Amino acid sequence: MAIFEGAGVALITPFTESQEVNYEKLRQLVEEQIAGGTDAIIACGTTGESSTMTHDEHIEVVRFVCQVAAGRVPVIAGTGSNSTREAIHLSKEAEKAGADALLIVTPYYNKATQNGLIAHYTAIAGEVDIPILLYHIPGRTGVTMKPETIVKLCREVPNIVGVKEASGNFSAIAEIMSLADGCVDLYSGNDDQIVPLLSMGGKGVISVLSNVAPSQTHDICESYFKGDVKKSSQMQIQAIPLINALFCEVNPIPVKAAMNMMGKEVGSLRLPLTEMEPANKAFLKKAMEEYGIL
């Protein structure tokens, strides 16, 4: 059984003026997501600025999100690292904190071989009991996982169950699903590609868009699953200008700006991320107005 089907939000982490985690605002965001129909919450992923968190902050945010969600939707913790030992530590702590599953990005910078990737993920999976999703985003990590590597891990390691695919390489994604014979739960990691990946047997999306449009993103998936592919496709296409604006600068710079424009007061970013350029912010504002969320 899949960890979730539909739209999981890659949740931002709100900060106070002094750059501490704003837990009261985080509670509010989790409640808003659940009320908006979000099917899962991903805490401390890329969008949550996990790379700028201390280990203690990272685990405390996961614990807090699990407490607020209280079993209403699955909570998936991002616990990836370029150090296998560190990824194991974060994964074990996230499991103790109540996470339902883990999202683990390929180890960046080291640029492991395919055998190294297999050894890395197998070692982590052997230390936890909850399900794991691989996270394939070569544009950020500099590492490409071959389709056969993804399928081998999902087939041979019991608690590695699927992949968040953000490579944008449809030929490779089709190859994954061809080789998988049902053993890989596929999730889109790109908001502009939800419907195409659903058409290949995908289970849903792990979404940045859901931060500002949770019900709409959920409905793209739900409409598809209910057989209304035309409606799902129309909703996907309608969202493209906003999605493009949300990625006109590196994520999560635009989505945090968008949420602040919506009055959500989620705070600023931690360095080295900086605030949006004025021209890009105007572009984002226009896209939000045209989409009807501002």
Enter the tokens of residue 209: 């868009």
d(CA 35, CA 19): 27
Enter the tokens of residue 79: 């616990």
Annotated catalytic residue: which of 135, 187, 224, 291? 135
d(CA 260, CA 252): 12
User: Residue 103: CB partners within 8 Å, gap ≥ 6?
Assistant: 42, 45, 76, 77, 78, 79, 80, 132, 133, 135, 164, 206
Q: Nearest 5°: phi and psi at 120? A: -60, -55
d(CA 75, CA 291): 28
* In contact, 40 and 74? CB cutoff 8 Å: yes
Annotated catalytic residue: which of 152, 164, 203, 264? 164
Q: Which amino acid is at 36?
A: G
d(CA 78, CA 13): 12
> Does residue 286 have an active-site annotation?
no
> Does residue 164 have an active-site annotation?
yes
User: Residue 220: CB partners within 8 Å, gap ≥ 6?
Assistant: 7, 194, 195, 205, 232, 235, 236, 239
d(CA 231, CA 132): 31
d(CA 179, CA 147): 8
DSSP notation for 181-232: TT--EEEES-GGGHHHHHHTT--EEEESGGGT-HHHHHHHHHHHHTT-HHHH
Supply the residues annotated as catalytic.
135, 164
